[in-house]
Amino acid sequence: MDKKKKMERYEKSLHELSHLIGTEGKYAVDGIGRMALISAVLRANLPYFLFVGFYRVVGNDMLIIGPYQGEMVVCGTIPFGKGVCGVCAVRKETIIVDDVSKFPGYIACDSETKSEIVIPVFESGELTAVFDVDGTCLADFDNTDRHYLEEIVTIYFKNK
């Protein structure tokens, strides 16, 4: 998808999210509700995403599946340090993987995922989740995706 079209779809998503859960939004939802709405809006506007969802932090070293959208059954739990999501949880920084087959310790939940981007989610300075998006093509994600996905997480989780 060309950059302009991708940016338009993200801008549409931001607009829809502001009407759903922004300061003027019609839904007053908790963190899990925000996760569900973000996943649904992004999957609707960027339908080429194979998986869009959150893994929530449980304890000090485990991620558990949270709200997501996708046509696959995903991993239920991921230990910190394992796979792209687990490494993101340890590093606490966005990770873009152009080819998941070359990522050390990659956890394959399905055979269609070729690339991935994972963003850490912080609330009140604490890591509470990671936001995971899978793509069906190699190098599906770039700095445009990073910018918009980090912006969405920052707006709706005060990501600091």
Contact (CB, 8 A) for 78 and 130: no
pLDDT at 24 exceeding the cut of 80: no
Q: What local confidence, expressed as pLDDT, does residue 160 receive?
A: 45
pLDDT confidence tier of residue 159, bands split at 50, 70 and 90: low
Q: Poorest-confidence range of 9-13, 35-39, 155-159?
A: 155-159
The whole-angstrom separation of Cα 24 and Cα 136 is 35
pLDDT per residue over 136-151, tens digit each? Answer: 999 999 999 999 999 9
pLDDT at 155 exceeding the cut of 80: yes
Domain count, the chain: 1
Instruction: Give the C-alpha distances (Å, rounded to integers) separating 151 from 88, 104, 106, 137.
Output: 17, 28, 26, 23
Domain that holds residue 72: 3-157
pLDDT per residue over 66-101, tens digit each? Answer: 999 998 878 899 999 999 999 999 999 999 999 999
Q: What local confidence, expressed as pLDDT, does residue 53 receive?
A: 97
pLDDT at 158 exceeding the cut of 90: no
In CATH, what number is assigned to the domain containing residue 69?
3.30.450.40
